[in-house]
Structures are given as C-alpha cells and as structure tokens.
Amino acid sequence: MHVSHSERLKLNDVRRLFRLIGEIREIGADPQRWRPHLITSLRKIIRADMVVSSEVHFRTTDKPGTLRCIDIGWGGADGAEPWQIHSEREEKPETYLLALGRVATPAVQNDVVPVAPTTPLRGGKSFILSQYPLAHLGAVDQLGLHRYAIDNPFTRAEHKLVRVFHVELGRLWRTDALRRAEDPKAELPPRLAQTLEQLIKGDSEKQIACELGLSQHTIHNYIKALHRRFDVSSRAELLSKAMSEQADFRPKLSVTVPRRAGRKSKSAPGGAIPKT
C-alpha cells in the first residue's frame, strides 16, 4: 500500500515528541509548570500558530442530557506568553464523543477519541483537536492546535504525530500508572521491596539479614535479584536507579476542580460523572 509523503512520519519529529514526554516528567507534577512547557514545545515541533492543552471535567446538571464542563489548562501562541484557561460551560455529552466509563462506543479506539468539530474551523484543515478520555477521573484531556493561514493546512503526518504524542502522554494517567506512581515498589515481591528499602537506608547485608530474620546468604540472593530487575551491575547503580524511580514525578491533572461558590467540585470515583 502506497503511503503519500504527507502521511509519512519523520523519525526526527517522533524523537522530539518522545523527548518532550521525558522533559514533562522531569519538570515535575505541577500542571502550572508542565502544561506551559508542553504547549511551547509542541507548537514548535508541529509548527502550529497556537496550541491549547487542557483537561475538561464533567458534572451533571438539572437539565436532562446536558453536562457542565469545567475546562482547566493553558494556551500559547507565537510571540505571546502562555496564558491560563479556566472556563465553565454547559454542553451536550455527544460533543465529546465520550462514554465516560458507562457505555462502550466505536468512537473510542486505542484510548483516543478522534473528534470532528460540529462547525469546521477554517475549513477543518488548519485545526487539530485530540482528546484522551480519563473515565476513571470523570474527565478528558485535550489538545487543540491551530494554524492561522488556511493555505498551510496540517498534513496527515502531523495529525498522526499529535495522536502519537497524546497516547504516550495519556499512558501516564492510566489507573495502573497512577497506582505505580503512588508506590514505586508496588510491583516488587514483599521481601525484595523490604531488602531494597533497607539498602536505601544504608544497611549492610548482615544488618538486613538481622532486621528481616533471614540468612545473609538469602539477602545476598535478594540483592542479586534486585540487580537483575533494575538491570544494574553494582550496589551504587542499584541505589541510584531505585532512588531516581522513587522521585519519578508524573504530570498531574487538576483533578480537584477549583470550588465554585455553593457547589462541590470533587471528582467522582470509578469514572461516574459527579452531580452538581
């Protein structure tokens, strides 16, 4: 099957996107820091005039078939400092093509929801909107990219680049990823986790054996197993890598929505849409 030039992904662009994911993780968890960096960098990689990165939280209303949408994020344009977004509006659920954990839909594929705006912006060729559903948080993360010149539309390859980036970013917010972030040793067997914890404290093999009531030979084997799991060859490398993973920040969402007078704004568990 022939793939046109406009559909081909450039390896350098893909590398830059994955490097951006790494930078976001290094910056830390605060959305006040990582979202402005995301929009500034993504705008340069995709060559967009404006980029908006935000999360939309959904709340029910007294009106049947209508949701209150709370949009929190950042926007950035060429030649301007990033600005913060916080808006609230009422919309129909189908605007987002999301099941939000209630009903499966063919629109949701590979955890990404392709969206076609009801009214095409600039002919629909100079605007990309990507949404990543976060049903377990009652929210959706979205990216919007704009080009002002209608004679310079986004290519199919650029649409794919945005999709690849959003999928990789969204992986950091999956339920299992969030659980691992809370406890970086969650996947280690209990004895290996205990041994690693004592090593980080600075204990010797003999001290660990005494603390855990095991033989020094057993503790030595546990440490060798930790070397294999962390793919290291020395105690120093093991401690460095283990402590680095403990400090691994994942970009956090503004899951606790700012309170509005007289209203509660907590996210509902299990992906249900909270009531207002």
What are the pLDDT digits (tens) for 42-52? 999 999 999 99
Total domains in the chain come to 2
As a whole number, mean pLDDT of residues 83-98 equals 76
54 and 165 in a single domain? The answer is yes
16 and 136 in a single domain? The answer is yes
239 and 258 in a single domain? The answer is no
Q: Three-state SS for 71?
A: strand
29 and 111 in a single domain? The answer is yes
pLDDT at position 114: 41
131 and 257 in a single domain? The answer is yes
Query: Is pLDDT of 154 > 70?
Result: yes
Contact between residue 113 and residue 131 where contact means Cβ atoms under 8 Å apart: yes
Identify whether 122 is part of a domain: yes
Distance of CA 153 to the CA centre of its chain: 27
Query: Is pLDDT of 36 > 90?
Result: yes
Contact between residue 168 and residue 21 where contact means Cβ atoms under 8 Å apart: yes
CATH number for position 220: 1.10.10.10
The boundaries of the domain holding residue 10 are 5-179+252-271
CA pair distance 252, 129, nearest whole angstrom: 21
CA pair distance 156, 5, nearest whole angstrom: 9
242 and 262 in a single domain? The answer is no
As a whole number, mean pLDDT of residues 168-196 equals 71
Query: Is pLDDT of 206 > 90?
Result: yes
Of 96, 146, 92, 142, the C-alpha closest to 123 is 146
CA pair distance 206, 33, nearest whole angstrom: 44
Identify whether 147 is part of a domain: yes
pTM as predicted: 0.61
CATH number for position 45: 3.30.450
59 and 26 in a single domain? The answer is yes
189 and 143 in a single domain? The answer is no
241 and 258 in a single domain? The answer is no
CA pair distance 115, 131, nearest whole angstrom: 7
pLDDT at position 256: 53
More confident residue, 248 or 107: 248
Tokens 């949404």 belong to residue? 131
CA pair distance 196, 193, nearest whole angstrom: 5
* Ranges 10-14, 227-231, 263-267: which has the least confidence: 263-267
218 and 116 in a single domain? The answer is no
Which ranges constitute the DSSP H helices of 143-266?
A: 156-171, 175-182, 190-201, 205-212, 216-230, 235-246
Tell me what percent of the residues of the chain surpass a pLDDT of 70: 70
pLDDT at position 257: 44
